[in-house]
């Protein structure tokens, strides 16, 4: 058994040609107090419908490293993030608890939103079915606040986090938008992974729909200048919906576009409409001056929202803001007055409970 040290100073133990990593450190190789391998008490089976949607049989790669990378990218394309997790203290859902959520893992399909818990579980389950690949789920933070996963072969060691966004978009969004992944931290086998990324990424992203590519090209053009005329966000949301982009990814796109406008004219806020004890319908509110709109992140449609209806929804408990977002709510409401919006044309009140 030999001890190796990579360029970041993190130690790996090489045993029987397998490169191991230290899960007690963060994904940059630094010591982290609450990082550890997470193991479920009970096992689960991948939903056959999800397997059909992933289409493992279409993977063109022959090596363990190629198959693993292809699978990561494919899961980012197929799975959607559960925006309802931002309101976990107001609902009873297995996605909100790392122990209980394993019960929902076997039910996941492309139409069933997941959090980092079950994305990592499903990825590791499938990765470990590839000959020559070893994968583990890693939890980090107090009380398992976040999950990611890592895998290694005899040639590469990779730490993968599809949910955390370091620059603009996380990989669950980037891959759907036709952008290169940024959530892979490669600790060993850099040249091997570079060759795989150079070959596999363009091949997979080539399937991105043409109208979405046009939309993303426009976003890239916007990001090069802070002096463009603000685009119509309703049209943007509609375009994303037509391309099959989910609500969680749309939130990231809207935030990214807004920061490139002069003075960032829009204020955004995550909110949820309480439908039942088990269901909160995620919304994204947009404010431009005294005008409010809400994006239903489930249906991906945009509605006018009169300011009186906005205040009434919060006062009556129909609508709530995301967990720990009290300051965000105060910032969003600052200077907002209901008296300017009493006769708003196209007024669309918040639906009653249960509707």
Model pLDDT for residues 138-172, shown as the tens digit of each residue:
887 666 678 899 999 989 999 999 998 777 789 99
Number of structural domains found in the chain: 2
Check whether residue 186 and residue 324 sit in a common domain: no
Model pLDDT for residues 240-288, shown as the tens digit of each residue:
888 888 999 999 888 887 776 656 678 899 999 988 877 889 999 999 8
Q: How far apart are CA 200 and CA 67, in angstroms?
A: 10
Check whether residue 181 and residue 233 sit in a common domain: no
| 56-77 mean pLDDT | 96
Check whether residue 106 and residue 165 sit in a common domain: yes
Decide which of 205, 234, 249 is a domain's last residue.
205
Please identify which residue in the block is written with the tokens 């933070």.
Answer: 141
Q: In the predicted model, what is the mean pLDDT of the chain? A: 80
Q: How far apart are CA 248 and CA 245, in angstroms?
A: 8
Domain that holds residue 186: 2-205
Contact 292, 305 (CB under 8 A): yes
Model pLDDT for residues 296-308, shown as the tens digit of each residue:
998 899 999 999 9
- The share of the chain scoring above pLDDT 90, in percent, equals 41
Contact 10, 150 (CB under 8 A): no
Model pLDDT for residues 34-64, shown as the tens digit of each residue:
778 888 778 899 999 999 999 999 999 999 9
Check whether residue 274 and residue 177 sit in a common domain: no
Check whether residue 170 and residue 156 sit in a common domain: yes
Please identify which residue in the block is written with the tokens 């100073």.
Answer: 9
Check whether residue 67 and residue 186 sit in a common domain: yes
Check whether residue 234 and residue 134 sit in a common domain: no
Q: How far apart are CA 106 and CA 156, in angstroms?
A: 29
What is the separation of C-alpha 182 from the centre of its chain, rounded to a whole number of angstroms?
Answer: 13
Contact 287, 266 (CB under 8 A): yes
In this structure, the number of other CB atoms found within 10 A of the CB of residue 127 comes to 23
Does residue 348 sit within a domain?
no
Check whether residue 30 and residue 179 sit in a common domain: yes
Whole-structure pTM value: 0.84
């Amino acid at each position: 058994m030999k001890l190796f040290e990579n360029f970041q100073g993190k130690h790996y133990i090489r045993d029987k040609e397998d490169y191991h990593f230290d899960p007690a450190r963060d994904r940059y190789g630094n010591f982290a107090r609450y990082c550890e391998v997470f193991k479920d008490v009970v096992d689960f089976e991948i939903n056959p419908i999800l397997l059909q949607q992933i289409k493992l049989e279409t993977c063109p790669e022959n090596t363990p490293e190629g198959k693993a990378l292809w699978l990561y990218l494919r899961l980012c394309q197929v799975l959607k993030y559960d925006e309802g997790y931002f309101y976990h203290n107001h609902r009873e859902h297995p996605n909100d608890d790392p122990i209980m959520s394993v019960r929902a893992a076997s039910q996941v399909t492309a139409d069933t939103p997941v959090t980092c818990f079950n994305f990592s579980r499903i990825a590791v389950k499938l990765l470990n079915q590839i000959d020559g690949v070893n994968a583990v789920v890693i939890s980090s933070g107090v009380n398992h606040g976040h999950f990611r996963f890592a895998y290694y072969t005899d040639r590469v060691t990779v730490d993968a986090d599809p949910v955390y966004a370091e620059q603009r978009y996380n990989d669950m969004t980037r891959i759907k938008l036709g952008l290169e992944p940024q959530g892979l931290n490669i600790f060993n086998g850099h040249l091997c992974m570079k060759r795989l990324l150079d070959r596999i990424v363009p091949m997979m992203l080539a399937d991105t729909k043409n109208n979405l590519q046009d939309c993303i090209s426009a976003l890239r053009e916007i990001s090069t200048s802070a002096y463009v005329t603000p685009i119509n966000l309703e049209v943007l949301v509609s375009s994303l919906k037509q391309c099959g982009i989910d609500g969680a990814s749309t939130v990231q796109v809207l935030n990214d576009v807004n920061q490139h406008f002069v003075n960032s004219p829009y204020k955004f806020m995550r909110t949820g409409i309480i439908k039942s004890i088990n269901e909160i319908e995620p919304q994204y509110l947009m404010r431009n001056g005294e005008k409010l709109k809400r994006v239903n992140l489930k249906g991906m449609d945009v509605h006018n929202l009169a300011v009186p209806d906005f205040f009434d929804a919060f006062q009556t408990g129909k609508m709530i803001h995301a967990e720990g977002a009290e300051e965000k709510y105060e910032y969003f409401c600052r200077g907002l007055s209901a008296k300017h919006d009493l006769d708003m044309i196209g007024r669309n009140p918040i639906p009653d409970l249960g509707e």
